[in-house]
Structure 1
Amino acid sequence: MTSATLAGAGALLLWAFLALLARSASGLPPLQLTTLGFAVGGLLALGVVAAQGRLKLLRQGRLAWVHGVGGLFGYHALYFAALALAPPVEANLLNYLWPLLIVLLSGPVLGLHLGPQRLAGVGFGFAGCVLLVGAGASFPAGAALGFACALGCAVVWAVYSVTSKRMAAVPTEALAGFCLATAVLAGVAHLAFETTVVPDARQWASVLALGAGPLGAAFFLWDAGMKRGDPRLLGTLAYAVPVASTLLLVVAGEGVLDWRTGAAAVLVVGGGILAATAKG
């Protein structure tokens, strides 16, 4: 495995901790958490870009900024809201519909052939979600809004990822600017719609870890892995992230891995692998 591929695998490892770190910051409103996390990640990234003398790469066209900030802000604001409003294990699994939605959207958006195996994979994934939150499942009042946010963030990240193919010329360094702009946008929304909470030591530690890892270094590691590593291997390894993320939540006492959750995870992850390995 090359160093670039290892870098991409490091990004996947960091993203596996996204849900756990977000839950560790519980008590902070979702938009405030988005603001603080991206402020930390953006400032760290800006420091790296400045040290390399590449600040001029932050000058990008309007479409690149709309795409980058829209994807980062939309996904993470909805994701943190989902974890705050719904049982985190179930919300986290629903969020991981995004790989399957990428497959589904690649047809109409990129003109790629879907085929029966890819469609079967998508079907398995949606069956897992129905099993997870469908008839017979019991959740606290208000969880429905959290589940809707989880589905929303899956749609946002899938659209962002599929349309990223049209943004291939945008350099990785521009992510520093996108992260800071996301922090500003989330901050304005937070002041408009939420009540500010002064973070305690635990919440600050979680925010700093989020900004340094899943909302910071992970973006740069992933870019290196996808550009100079083995994207096929990284694409396969990516399907371990929802399993690892869910298990970390369970071990931390944030949920229970019962038969329903386990079966849903198998269907979602298995469906993704089936769709990803289809030929043609």
Structure 2
Amino acid sequence: MSDTTSATRPSRRAATLAGVAAIGLWGSLALLSTSVSRLPPLQVLASTFAIAALLGLARVARRGGGARGDGALRALRQPLSGWLLGVGGLFGYHALYFYAVSAAPPVQVSLIAYLWPLLIVLFSAALPGGRLRRRHVAGALLGLAGVWTVLAAAGDVGLRAAHAPGYLAALGCALVWSTYSVVQRRFADVPADAVAGSCAATAALGLAGHLALERTVVPSAGEALGLLALGLGPVGAAFFAWDLATKHGDLPQLGVLSYGAPVLSTLLLCVAGRAEASPRLLAACALVAAGGLVATAPRGSGEAG
């Protein structure tokens, strides 16, 4: 039985803010990934998720596991359905993404994969008590337009039949992550500590794939720091925060606000000198900001569901 009770659950606002923190951490993913671009992708996946798992276990140990010190075991003692959702969401998304970028140009892959925030808005209406509001859909569409604007600047966005498997994998990314994020609400009593187990399983699957398909590259000191930063931030703390947010926060708003991640990512690359600012980027930022404002504005008395 879970030790999570209504008395200890975070408020809706606090959980939504945790999701905003996760989105901010994901905005650093591209910049941090440039520091490990020489390493094989599944090696990076296995390494960073192993660090995330250790972070989660350290979190359990720091808070204490009770008189018997079995807090970690209680966190990992979850229903099979919870394990399938956690591992399927984390490993499934990343496995599909890595395949997609190997089978199709990354710009088109990103354009398709970033349908997941819009899908979160749409799918959340199917939850008990869920309701699809026009302001959320409008905000999500503005955010999607902003992301497509900034990604389209990176190159040709035309679709070609030869890359169809990659496009389908990218669509799978969007479906897997949006489904994972929305279905999490049905596991609201599962503590966030359980994410450590999902991260460990994802790391193990990534390691198996790496050993079978890739050649191990010994990281340099700088790459080791990059792996550590990724494992602690966008691959570590972000997933624990997102778990809290999707279980207790405002899902439609989180879906809209998620479009800030790729734009923030591009801005950080510009600040670091890895990309150039442009009028197209400013337009994208304006669209994403407008989408966020529309989605989070107080509901008017005349708004329909």
Shorter-chain TM band: 0.7 to 0.9
Whether the aligned pair in 1 keeps the contact of 2:110 and 2:151 (CA below 8 Å) is no
Q: Aligned-pair distance for 1:108?
A: 4.5
Q: Does 1:31 align with 2:42?
A: yes
Q: Which runs of 5 or more structure 2 residues have no equivalent in the other structure?
A: 1-10, 66-70, 300-304
Q: Name the SS for the 2:192 alignment partner.
A: coil
Partner of 2:142: 124
Measure, in 2, the Cα distance between the counterparts of 1:129 and 1:223.
24
Of 215, 220, 236, which residue of structure 2 is paired with 1:200? Answer: 220
Whether the aligned pair in 2 keeps the contact of 1:97 and 1:154 (CA below 8 Å) is yes
Measure, in 1, the Cα distance between the counterparts of 2:238 and 2:145.
30
What is the letter of the counterpart of residue 248 of structure 1? L
Q: Aligned-pair distance for 1:111?
A: 7.2
Whether the aligned pair in 2 keeps the contact of 1:30 and 1:81 (CA below 8 Å) is no
Q: Does 1:43 align with 2:43?
A: no
CA 1:271–1:46 in structure 2 vs 1: closer, same or farther (change >3 Å)? Answer: same
Partner of 1:173: 193
Partner of 1:17: 28
What is the letter of the counterpart of residue 50 of structure 1? A
Q: Name the SS for the 1:173 alignment partner.
A: helix
Q: TM-score, normalised by structure 1?
A: 0.76
Deviates more, 1:168-177 or 1:69-78: 69-78
Q: Which runs of 5 or more structure 1 residues have no equivalent in the other structure?
A: none
Deviates more, 1:203-212 or 1:79-88: 79-88
Within 5 Å, which residues of 2 pair with 1:99-248? 99-108=117-126, 112-128=130-146, 131=149, 137-138=155-156, 152-221=172-241, 235=254, 240-248=260-268
Measure, in 1, the Cα distance between the counterparts of 2:153 and 2:235.
35
Whether the aligned pair in 2 keeps the contact of 1:100 and 1:271 (CA below 8 Å) is no
Measure, in 1, the Cα distance between the counterparts of 2:149 and 2:24.
27
Q: Aligned-pair distance for 1:180?
A: 0.5
Identity of aligned residues (%): 47
Measure, in 1, the Cα distance between the counterparts of 2:56 and 2:122.
33
Whether the aligned pair in 1 keeps the contact of 2:120 and 2:178 (CA below 8 Å) is yes
Q: Aligned-pair distance for 1:71?
A: 1.0
Number of corresponding residues: 276
Q: Deviation digits for residues 146-195 of structure 1, max 9, x if unmatched?
A: 77765543332211111111111111111111110110011112223333
Q: TM-score, normalised by structure 2?
A: 0.71
Whether the aligned pair in 2 keeps the contact of 1:99 and 1:272 (CA below 8 Å) is no
Deviates more, 1:216-225 or 1:182-191: 216-225
Measure, in 2, the Cα distance between the counterparts of 1:11 and 1:165.
17
Measure, in 2, the Cα distance between the counterparts of 1:136 and 1:206.
24
Measure, in 1, the Cα distance between the counterparts of 2:182 and 2:87.
15
Q: Deviation digits for residues 12-50 of structure 1, max 9, x if unmatched?
A: 443321221122210222222111000111123223323
Measure, in 2, the Cα distance between the counterparts of 1:16 and 1:199.
23
Measure, in 2, the Cα distance between the counterparts of 1:95 and 1:33.
20
Deviates more, 1:28-37 or 1:144-153: 144-153
Measure, in 1, the Cα distance between the counterparts of 2:175 and 2:59.
31
Q: Deviation digits for residues 201-231 of structure 1, max 9, x if unmatched?
A: 2221111111122222333455567889x86
Of 58, 80, 88, which residue of structure 2 is paired with 1:70? Answer: 88
CA 1:76–1:135 in structure 2 vs 1: closer, same or farther (change >3 Å)? Answer: closer
Q: Name the SS for the 1:174 alignment partner.
A: helix
